[in-house]
Structure 1
Amino acid sequence: MDNQKNGRRIFLKNTTMAAAAVPFSLSATDFKDESKKGSKGKTKYALVGTGTRGSSSWAKPIIQNYAQYADLVALCDINIGRMEYAKKFIGTNAPTYHSSEFEKMISETQPDTVIVTTTDCFHEQYIVKAMELGCDVISEKPLVTEAHQGQNLIAAENRTGKKITTTFNARFSNESEEIKKILNSGELGKVLSAEYHEYLNVDHGASYYRRWHGKKRFSGSLLVHKASHHFDQMNWWLDSEPVTVKANGKVGFYGKNNSFRGSNCRTCTFKSKCEFYWDIESYGSKELYLSGEAEDGYLRDGCVWDKEIDSYDAMTVEVAYENDVLLSYSLNSYMPYEGQNIAFNCEKGRLEVRVYDAQPWEVDNVFEFRITKNFNGTKAYGLGRDSGTHGGSDDKLRDKIFKPNQPDELKQMADSRAGLMSSLIGIAAVKSIETKKQINIHDLVDFPTEWKWKTKLK
């Protein structure tokens, strides 16, 4: 247990100082030289946060698939060992900078855009500083983990005139696009209420509790980290924004809910009896984490029974929207199978969608659709999943971001407002659970009357 505590202390100390160590003091005029463009006019990108998502989904694809449009000019992370391994994995000669050298990185490499893929709770600090130093920002979800961070983003975006793109790849999956098209068609009339139920199985679900995601201080809870995808999808499908949120949640399966626990799987004395033992040697990106483990004490194969786990594993949320739609949402992260049940109850009938991600039985289609009219029968059909990560949605999103002049008929590109709205539903849900009260979204943040980037969207 002493090793567990010491490792955690090192990680907490270093991650807490990740953004605070940066000497954020100068302004955009001290840095940006508009005469310094990428080679042949390409957009210049810097990546801050070189974990799996940043390295695999953003930096490496820039090198491999978008080199004619983009230059990767810098990498930044708090963990030097991990960043050096990531540099080799990515296949780049871009210079590397410790998080305390963030301003130096901007000054020396002159990126047009900073891609932020750090631990969730630090997104806001890097986003704000990047904009203050003259850069646009691409950020992974969730955009923020606390309401005051959202207020800071609103102020910074309006103050600097720079823009934030929130990367909601879930908007680009085949079933998500199909739902949007059906609702846009008006075939079922006005949506009156909606249902969204997320099932994470004991493989994928448990993985969140082995990592920093299981601690609310880092992730905001799965209601912010994971559910921000789902809340954004619903906001986008309904073309509306949330007004009130009421939620319930608990840690009923992981964390303290076991008779034994260890520091991490590799060193655990209970590995032979624990059904959740996970061998990091089987993990494709193991060296990305093992290479930096001694530096900050972060254990990628942490124990799912850690008593400090406080991110809910069972949760329900009720959301009322501006357009009077009522949403019933749930997420359970310890299920025997994985997928989603999504439904829209409309004036003229009901749309039901079943998403199969992993289950101990065969299915003909991973996406099952059923449209039932009130007085005109029913029809069912299926769709398949495209190749590529997250069912091809990552490729679609990256094409929109990196390739010039891409159409956006379904309005899938998400700005700061979309990112903030999805985060705020999760933040409000956590606050509702903690206070046992209904939360008004507009009590969390003072919204401007005009959102600047709205006028820039094509």
Structure 2
Amino acid sequence: MKTNRREFLYSLSMLAAGTALTSPLYGMDRKLKVVLVGTGIRGTSFWGKRLVDQYPEKLEFVGLCDHNIGRAQYAKKYMGVNCPVYTDFDKMLKENKPDLVIVCTKDSTHHEFIVKGLNFGADVLTEKPLTTDEDKCKQIVEAEKRSKRNLIVGFNYRWSPYMTKIKELLQNNAIGQITSVDFNWYLNTHHGASYFRRWHGQMNGGGSLWVHKATHHFDLLNWWLDDTPQEVFAYGALEHYGKNGPFRGESCRKCAHTKECKYFWDITKSSEDMRLYVENEKHDGYIRDNCLFREEIDIYDKMSAQIKYKSNTVVNYSLTTYSPFEGWRIAFNGQKGRIEAWLDIPWLKGENIDQEKLHALEMDQGHKEGQNVEPLILYRNWENYEVVNVISEKAGHGGGDRRLQDKIFLNPNADDPYRHSAGLRDGVMSIMIGIAARKSIQSGKPIKISDLTDVL
């Protein structure tokens, strides 16, 4: 279905006033009836077991759905719920009449379940990214407009104390009008490689890391700048993973090169991954420890983009997928000064961090770790710089996971002065940058966000 540009822009403009989030708990005098579609690790843990454990008085799961019946059955045991499991999403909706649908399926199928959930009359909470292309996006926009229900996008990074401090400084005009931003994100050889093992390694699954991963970062930019992206020019290539590998195998656990491959990952050491994925390969053939050098990988592992915003702010962004360390850094240049911020850059603290352990802790949705202090630097023109120390957390996206879920399920009416809550328009604008970057690489030209619907 080809999207008409004028229709799309009109639909998007109608979202401008709809960014405030109303919790699905609003006005309820009973437990929220919740169904989950997509019972992979993110669904069963962060949007599954964690909700069961943290909010038993607020919600109950009344159905679990996955095209892989084995994963759905394991999810029921792992989450500790007593509800039916389904492979038929429509049947689950009809039989359970949920208040909230949580969507954690493959990115390229998000739109199917979002639209069906909204059409059914339920609120919908979807994992990021919203979807993977502009036509699917238009279907979601139209469905929300018709249904008058809420669509919540699970942007958790916004909620971390460190990210919030940056927002506070920018919102308070600490360095004046922002003119440019330098933003670099580094995925280490454990986290970065994991995307190329999974379905994310193919365009038709996750729309590339421009959409699946970088949507996190683009949402932060849009939120920090309180601005609308207008044009994107990007470069990207596949130079490390995929066909570039020196050898390849059927899967890590069945590979003949385990001793010589530095990327070897032994899935058998994880009882959870074995029960959730390996024991259920027979149902759909999905291999969780797939070879990251397989020929069919077609996404980029090197990415760089320039993003121009409505206010004329220009952002230089890059994503590295095979860095020796996991971390990020950003610098905002303003008319009156500069802000520099970063997290997990080892040499800045004289640390040697175990990168494999760091990745494992970030993936552990139940992990809890104490607070620590992280600095950021505030420069004002013609003044000495100021070190701003921020209480930060390691667990759950810098503490963002817990705060996001608390706002939705525990304190829906709490004040939100920094507009952390993300709705449909936020989801749309974050993926549009990634889609434009992908199109720019393919065409070799800058892509205007407003012209996306003419590029299929």
> What is the TM-score when the length of structure 2 is the normalising length?
0.86
Tell me if the contact between 2:346 and 2:352 (Cα under 8 Å) persists in the aligned partners.
Answer: no
1:80-99 to structure 2, matched below 5 A, reads: 80-98=69-87
Task: Give how far 1:117 is off.
Answer: 0.5
Look up the match of 1:332: 320
**Aligned: 1:396 with 2:388:** no
Tell me if the contact between 1:48 and 1:75 (Cα under 8 Å) persists in the aligned partners.
Answer: yes
Q: Which has the higher contact order (CA 8 A, sep 6+)?
A: 2
Task: Give how far 1:444 is off.
Answer: 2.1
**Aligned: 1:296 with 2:304:** no
Q: Residue 432 of structure 1 is aligned with which of 440, 446, 449?
A: 440
Distance in 2 separating the partners of 1:281 and 1:426: 35
Structure 1 counterpart of 2:343, one-letter code: V
Look up the match of 2:19: none
1:410-429 to structure 2, matched below 5 A, reads: 410-429=418-437
Distance in 1 separating the partners of 2:374 and 2:336: 22
Distance in 2 separating the partners of 1:70 and 1:80: 24
Task: Give how far 1:382 is off.
Answer: 3.7
Distance in 2 separating the partners of 1:201 and 1:161: 42
What is the DSSP-based 3-state SS (H/G/I as helix, E as strand, rest coil) of the residue aligned with 2:304? Answer: strand
Look up the match of 2:183: 196
1:16-415 to structure 2, matched below 5 A, reads: 41-98=30-87, 101-283=88-270, 285-286=272-273, 287-356=275-344, 361-362=350-351, 367-386=374-393, 388-403=395-410, 404-415=412-423
Tell me if the contact between 1:151 and 1:445 (Cα under 8 Å) persists in the aligned partners.
Answer: no
* Structure 1 residues 445 and 112: CA distance shift in structure 2, 3 A: farther
Task: Give how far 1:283 is off.
Answer: 3.0
Task: Give how far 1:159 is off.
Answer: 1.6
Distance in 2 separating the partners of 1:247 and 1:168: 24
Look up the match of 1:29: none
Task: Give how far 1:366 is off.
Answer: 7.1
Distance in 1 separating the partners of 2:40 and 2:323: 27
Tell me if the contact between 1:199 and 1:338 (Cα under 8 Å) persists in the aligned partners.
Answer: yes
Task: Give how far 1:173 is off.
Answer: 1.6
What is the DSSP-based 3-state SS (H/G/I as helix, E as strand, rest coil) of the residue aligned with 1:292? Answer: helix
* Structure 1 residues 97 and 313: CA distance shift in structure 2, 3 A: same
Tell me if the contact between 2:162 and 2:398 (Cα under 8 Å) persists in the aligned partners.
Answer: no
Which moves more between the two structures, 376-385 or 119-128?
376-385
Distance in 2 separating the partners of 1:187 and 1:361: 30
Distance in 1 separating the partners of 2:434 and 2:373: 27
Distance in 2 separating the partners of 1:66 and 1:406: 17
Structure 1 segments unaligned to the other structure (5+ residues)? 1-37, 447-458
Task: Give how far 1:276 is off.
Answer: 0.5
Which moves more between the two structures, 291-300 or 361-370?
361-370
Structure 1 counterpart of 2:108, one-letter code: C
Tell me if the contact between 2:157 and 2:398 (Cα under 8 Å) persists in the aligned partners.
Answer: no
Task: Give how far 1:63 is off.
Answer: 1.4
Distance in 2 separating the partners of 1:421 and 1:306: 32
Distance in 1 separating the partners of 2:350 and 2:79: 37
Structure 2 counterpart of 1:429, one-letter code: A
* Structure 1 residues 52 and 228: CA distance shift in structure 2, 3 A: same
Task: Give how far 1:39 is off.
Answer: 10
What is the DSSP-based 3-state SS (H/G/I as helix, E as strand, rest coil) of the residue aligned with 2:277? Answer: helix
Runs of 4+ in 1 over 6 A off after TM superposition: 357-360, 363-366
Task: Give how far 1:284 is off.
Answer: 5.5
RMSD: 2.0
Distance in 2 separating the partners of 1:302 and 1:401: 35
Which moves more between the two structures, 153-162 or 345-354?
153-162
Distance in 1 separating the partners of 2:135 and 2:346: 37
Task: Give how far 1:358 is off.
Answer: 6.5
What is the DSSP-based 3-state SS (H/G/I as helix, E as strand, rest coil) of the residue aligned with 1:222? Answer: coil
Identity over aligned pairs, percent: 44
Task: Give how far 1:285 is off.
Answer: 2.6
Task: Give how far 1:385 is off.
Answer: 3.2
Q: Deviations over 1:144-176 (max 9, x none)?
A: 101101111111111221221101001012221
What is the DSSP-based 3-state SS (H/G/I as helix, E as strand, rest coil) of the residue aligned with 1:414? Answer: coil
Tell me if the contact between 1:62 and 1:72 (Cα under 8 Å) persists in the aligned partners.
Answer: no
Distance in 2 separating the partners of 1:129 and 1:343: 41
Tell me if the contact between 2:326 and 2:344 (Cα under 8 Å) persists in the aligned partners.
Answer: yes
Task: Give how far 1:113 is off.
Answer: 1.1
> What is the TM-score when the length of structure 1 is the normalising length?
0.86
